[in-house]
Amino acid sequence: MKRLEPFLPVVGVIGLLAVWSIAVHSGFVDPVLLPPPKAAFDALVKGMGGVLGFDFVRTVERTVWATLIAAVIAIPLGIVLGSSERLYRSLEFVIDFFRSTPASAMFPLFLVLFGVGDKTKISVAAFGAMLVILFNVAYGVMNARKTRLLAAKVMGASRLRVLFDVMLLESLPQTFVGLRNGVSLALVIIVVAEMFIGSQDGIGHSVFEAQQLFEMPRMYAAIFAAGALGYGLNLLFLLIERRFVHWSGR
C-alpha cells in the first residue's frame, strides 16, 4: 500500500476524466457543449504545436513582464515601508484599498493612459501584482523576529547591516508568498485583458475566439493550457523558493 502513495494525486485526475467520459457518453450532457476528453486532448496537442502554442508563449511573455515590473518596484518599496512601521501605517489604508480593488476595474483608466495594446495589459497586471507583493514584503520585514534583530544589534551590527543581513533575509519567505500570489493574479488579469481588450493573440484571445466560433474542443484545450500555465508558474516559484529560502517554515 505504501508504495502506491506517490500515485495518489493521479486518482483525482482519473476520477475527473471518468466522470467527464460518462457524462458525455451517457448523453447526459450535449456533446457539442462538452466534447469527449479525447477530442479536447487532441485539440490541445494539435494546438500547442501551432496557434495555441504561439498564444501560450505570448501570455507567458506578458505575465512574466508584468510580474517582473511588479517585483522590481514592489520589493525595494516594501523593504523601505516595512522597515519603518510608522511609514507603513500611514500608507496602509491606501495599499489595502487598492489591493482590494478588482484590478479589472482599472482597465478603462489604463486604456486612457496607455492606449489599446500590450502596454495596458501588462501595466494593469503589474499594478495588481505589485500591491500584492508590496504588502507581503512589507509584512515580512515588519514581522522579522525581534530576537534575531536584537542578536545582530548586540553583536555590534549597524542599522544598515541589520537591514541587509537580517531583515532582508527574514522577509524572504513572505516575499515568496507575495511573488506566488502576484504571478497568479498577473496571469488572471492578463488572460482577461486578452479576451476583451482588442487582442490579436494570447491564451485569453484563444479561449474567446474558440467560443465565438463554437469550436468547443479548441476552447477546452485553451482553458487547459491556461490552467497548466498557472499551475506551472506557481510550481516554478515554489521550486525557486525551496532552493533559495531553504529555511522557510523550519
3-state secondary structure of 106: helix
Please tell me the distance from the alpha carbon of residue 148 to that of residue 140, in angstroms, as a whole number.
Answer: 14
Rounded Cα distance between 22 and 56, Å, is 30
In angstroms, what is the minimal distance from the CB of 148 to other proteins?
6
Q: What is the DSSP letter of 249?
A: T
Residue 147 binding other proteins, by CB under 8 A: yes
Rounded CA separation 157/85 (Å): 20
**Cβ at position 146, least distance to other proteins in Å:** 8
Distance of closest approach, residue 241 Cβ to other proteins, in angstroms = 13
CB burial of residue 140 (10 Å; 0-12, 13-18, 19+): buried
Residue 229 CB coordination number (10 Å):
18
- Binding characters for other proteins, 216-245, by CB under 8 A (x = yes): -----------------------------x
**Closer residue to other proteins, CB minimum distance, 36 or 173:** 173
Q: Out of 38, 145, 159, 242, which residue is the one contacting other proteins (CB under 8 A)?
A: 145
Contacts of 140 (CB under 8 A, 6+ apart): 78, 82, 170, 171, 172, 173, 174, 175, 178
Q: Does 87 bind other proteins (CB under 8 A)?
A: no
The answer for residues whose C-beta is within 8 angstroms of residue 65's C-beta and 6 or more apart is 122, 126
Least separation in angstroms between residue 170's CB and other proteins is: 9
Q: Could you give the CA distance from residue 156 to residue 162 in angstroms, rounded to a whole number?
A: 10
Closest to other proteins by CB, 171 or 199: 171
Q: Give the nearer residue to other proteins in terms of CB position, either 147 or 212.
A: 147
Measured from the CB atom, is 18 or 155 closer to other proteins?
Answer: 155
Q: Pick between residue 71 and residue 166 the one whose CB is nearest to other proteins.
A: 166
Least Cβ distance, residue 168 to other proteins (angstroms): 10
Whether 125 and 193 have beta carbons less than 8 Å apart is answered as yes
Stretch that binds other proteins, among 16-24, 147-155, 203-211, 223-231 (CB under 8 A): 147-155
Instruction: State which residue, 37 or 173, has the beta carbon closest to other proteins.
Output: 173
* Residues within window 157-216 making contact with other proteins, judged by CB under 8 A: 157, 161, 165-166, 169, 172
Task: Write out the residues near other proteins by the rule CB under 8 A.
Answer: 145-148, 150-151, 153-157, 161, 165-166, 169, 172, 245-247, 250
